[in-house]
Amino acid sequence: MKKLMISCLYLFCLCISYGYGNDVISLAGNWRFEIDRHDVGITEQWYNRNLSAVIKLPGSMAESLMGDEITLETKWTGSIYDSSFYYNPKLEKFRQPGNIHIPFWLTPAKHYVGAAWYQKEVHIPKNWEGRRIVLHLERAHTETRVWINDQEVGLRNSLVAPHIYDLSSFLTSGENRISIRVDNSIKEINVGPDSHSISDHTQGNWNGIIGKIALASYVPVYIEEIDIFPDINNRKARVQMKLNNTTAKEVAGKVTISAQSFNTSRSDKTKAITAKTKISGSDTLEMELAFGPGMLTWDEFDPALYKLSVKLSTNVGETTKEVQFGMREFRIEGKQFLINGRPVFLRGTLNNCEFPLTGYPATTVDAWEKIFRTIKAHGLNHVRFHSWCPPEAAFIAADRIGLYLQPEAPSWPNHGPKIGLGEPVDQFLYDESMRIVKHYGNYASFTMLAAGNEPAGNQVEYLNDFVDFWKARDDRRVYTGMSVGGSWPVVPNAEFQVRGGVRGLAWNRMPESHSDFSAGISPFDVPFIAHENGQYCVYPNFEEIKKYKGVYKAKNMEMFRQILADQHMGDQANDFLNASGMLQALAYKHEIEKMLRTPEYAGFQLLGLQDFPGQGTALVGVLDAFWEEKGYISAQEYARFCNETVPLAKVQKFVFTNEETFEADIALFHAGKAPLTDAVVSWIIRDADAQTFEEGRFEAQTFAQGNGLSVGHITIPLNKIKNPAKLNLEVQVDGTSFANDWNFWVYPNERQERASSVYYTTTLDEQAETVLKNGGKVFLNASGKIVKGKEIEMHFLPVFWNTSWFKMRPPHVTGMLIQDESLAFADFPTSFHSDLQWWDIQHRAEVMNIEDFPADFRPLIQPIDTWFLNRRLALVYEAKVGNGKIVVSSADLGPDVQNKPASRQLFLSLQRYMESDEFNPKDELSMQIIKDVFLTPSREIFDTYTKDSPDELKPDSEKNKLN
């Protein structure tokens, strides 16, 4: 009985959403099926015979294990810029039949590109005669052609909207055969193989039909389309309807409309209004719906929604339709977005169609609500859909949750196709954007639209026209050309800019939190949104592998895990994850805060909050591809620096001596529902034991919405601190949950004395060997002398996107693992991961490749290599050598180092440790193995074997590429 009730509810919802009346036949279930490998099904009239296999719909071929085994010859959809997998001798075992491990993206159970046929018998009831009958395929991938019995109905090709066929003149009462040919190959219309609408990098180039699959019947005079244009200032909505009459005669009708809120504690309802009309063929009717003083508006804080009820009554029958909408106005004023007249700052992330269990997007509201609630829990209010558009369920869920969405036409027209040159993709992007607006245009969350991502071709002229077309056609949202990197040409007519170039952290210099992006955005007179900012990598979480219980397997991560084990570091995987993860979170925090303190910056679109499983495996999220936490930062911690209100501290540096003064300008980012009235901002500085060092508060103020709003200044002399200290400044808005904090470090300004019992040297000379032979202690500052590992670049910031996609562009290291419990760090406060005090030690320091050291050897400070290579690296290590003991550092640590307070302090801590009785390394090394690091290059040198490069690495990527 329960199953029957669910089925009835599903059919009722289908009927309401699409205006099909009460007669619906679900086509979900078993279908006959056959693969058309040689594309002979049409000429051989497969629609006239029973197909040989059985498959379930909704679903994909891969879900039913239909298609081809994965081999080295599999023809993938997507660019590969690193071909080393196919040639590297060390990876040969991953290329063997039965052990294929593709590193570029997730691996489907089966893979197939081409035509496949789906067939089902359906019984059409007698009472459907004379009615309009529609076949609804919510999302097909990609092109469909439909036959009823032996007659072809037509062809549909859309990556963004349902494929809908009018079968009224093809179906007869009784048994009918429906045959659907689905073709997922790239043909004349090429949106680009890396487009997230089709690429194996993300959802996968699947073949199938998902979502609602049904036949529906309703009266021949019907409502085809409804568009609702809110006017909140005048408390009314313009309702535009397209009415169709498929009978031969003009029909008189009456249309009644009304609206009622449905998801709020306070309800509101309009009066019903009626209009008489005559319908012959296709006619348009416009009505004005008035709201009363209790009208509810929609935004991220109060996502109040209405259902518009429309009833069309004629002498041939009655049809009804309900449409969800919100009363809201999303517009631009100067460099600022406004929601209902109030400033809004877009804190966004990308959705790249990551659905690792199925390989295709979710079509249920519950699934999207789960994703969107997670996004909102991290303090975000905006989602960009990179080169794809989600199904309707995403818009419904975003309306309920309160998120601002930017869907895109489904194209990355660069790696293959180009725009503005008369290729089929030019018209297709217009057609697809029209379909997006037709099917989802009434949803309140649909506030922005772009034509796609990072184009090539005659892009400025084409995109200017695209923006102008939509600005003139529909003012319910705002429009840009395409979302692009910083080297792409500017599209002047775009209402807002989504661009790179004004993002990132300038941590090639000493980290600070004082600068902003004002100079970068000053040339733009429209809102500027950061394009794909972040892209900071974290080491793989191999515990995630067991989550892949669906169609896709994480063979890429399995391969990386095995490489790590082969390099004798399998036991360190979780430590690498957490250490690199803390650095990743730190980088995201500081980049987000930099935008929040920049006046007139309009928003950002992170890449990303969650991992991207393709393009070489881009582990750029604090969440995994399942939108779940990895363990090193929670949503609550993330929302401290990414929220509607965020306290900010502008400081010039984070490492001090006790002869200096700590100064901070305290500021506030506020994008809340209303100004903060009489807000008191307080601050406290605590030491490592959580004891209060200093505290204070500022006088109550009122803060309007804005970025980098000044609060006050803190000045704290540090001369009371006598020992090395890690301190924490926390700033909060009293009486609220809004708080944020920053670590900083203070070191005594001690004179560096050379330890009398330790021989300090910058070369492994004869005297060093003599000292070691005699049982002495040696500190070797090997900075600038490294040969084995010289090719490995370490910056303070982690790997960008990943080294495979970007052809081993530096940095190659993603953080460091530090043996923080060692007494070597007794006078250098540190955690197990690199924090800002490590910058002058770590940034641009050489690393040692210790590939020939004993398998269980673990350095004191261990840089974490790119997971494609998993080389064993060291920055500082200790060992016994013969009768003596040594510490070797490839970072520049020594008594004569100038203007690097952390480096000086670490050297002092190591010296004191070496002088103490605690200095007793457990590992023993030969002199030869130590010397070899300075003599012999690394045995493994990376080679991508591929000449082509991503756009960002091409020197002419800024040009208007016409050829």
Bridge pairing between strands 208-218 and 59-60: antiparallel
Torsions phi, psi for 831 (to 5 deg): -100, -170
Beta partners for 545? none
pLDDT of residue 10: 38
pLDDT of residue 13: 42
Bridge pairing between strands 346-351 and 603-607: parallel
3-class DSSP string for 44-100 = CCHHHCCCCEEEEECEECHHHCCCECCCCCCCCCCCCCCCHHHHCHHHHHHHCCCCC
CA 483 – CA 497 distance, rounded (Å): 8
Within 325-454, where are the H helices?
365-377, 392-401, 424-440
- CA–chain centroid gap for 960, Å, is 27
Cis before 608 (ω within 30):
yes
C-alpha pair distances (Å), 618 with each of 70, 233, 648, 720, 802 = 22, 45, 30, 46, 6
CA pseudo-torsion sign 213, 217, 220, 226: negative
pLDDT of residue 11: 38
Lateral strand order in the sheet of 282-290:
221-231, 236-245, 282-290
Question: Which amino acid is located at 901 in the chain?
Answer: P
pLDDT of residue 450: 98
Residue 955: CA count within 13 A, CB half-sphere: 0
CA 882 – CA 921 distance, rounded (Å): 12
Contact 526, 495 (CB under 8 A): yes
Torsions phi, psi for 838 (to 5 deg): -85, -5
Residue 876 burial by CB count (10 A; 0-12/13-18/19+): exposed, middle or buried? buried
For 749, other C-beta atoms within 10 Å of its C-beta total 14
Residue 504 — left, alpha, or beta (φ > 0 → left; ψ -120 to 50 → alpha)? left
| pTM for this prediction | 0.95
CA 189 – CA 426 distance, rounded (Å): 9
Number of H-type helices and E-type strands within the chain: 14, 49
Torsions phi, psi for 624 (to 5 deg): -85, -175
Contact 672, 705 (CB under 8 A): yes
pLDDT of residue 944: 85
Q: Tell me the three state secondary structure of residue 638.
A: helix
Residue 856 — left, alpha, or beta (φ > 0 → left; ψ -120 to 50 → alpha)? alpha
* Mean pLDDT per 10-residue section of the chain, whose length is 963 residues: 36 39 86 98 97 98 97 94 91 95 96 98 95 97 97 98 97 97 96 96 95 96 97 98 94 97 96 96 96 98 98 94 97 98 98 96 98 98 98 98 98 93 97 98 98 96 98 98 95 97 95 97 97 97 97 96 97 98 98 98 97 96 98 98 98 97 98 97 96 97 97 97 97 98 95 79 95 97 97 96 92 97 98 97 97 97 97 98 97 92 96 96 96 95 84 57 41
Contact 460, 489 (CB under 8 A): yes
Within 494-603, where are the H helices?
518-521, 555-566, 573-596
Which residue, 329, 240, 324, is CA-closest to 289?
240
Long-range contacts of range 222-226, CB-CB < 8 Å, 24 or more positions apart?
222/19, 222/132, 222/312, 222/319, 223/19, 223/310, 223/312, 223/319, 223/321, 224/19, 224/282, 225/438, 226/308, 226/310, 226/321, 226/323, 226/442
Contact 26, 45 (CB under 8 A): no
Length reported for the chain = 963
Q: Tell me the three state secondary structure of residue 781.
A: strand
- CA–chain centroid gap for 685, Å, is 35
For 311, other C-beta atoms within 10 Å of its C-beta total 16
Residue 846 burial by CB count (10 A; 0-12/13-18/19+): exposed, middle or buried? buried
pLDDT of residue 136: 98
Please report how the helices 392-401 and 424-440 are oriented relative to each other, as an axis angle in degrees rounded to 10: 50
Cis before 58 (ω within 30):
yes
C-alpha pair distances (Å), 280 with each of 217, 243, 251, 284, 580 = 20, 9, 7, 10, 67
CA 276 – CA 283 distance, rounded (Å): 13
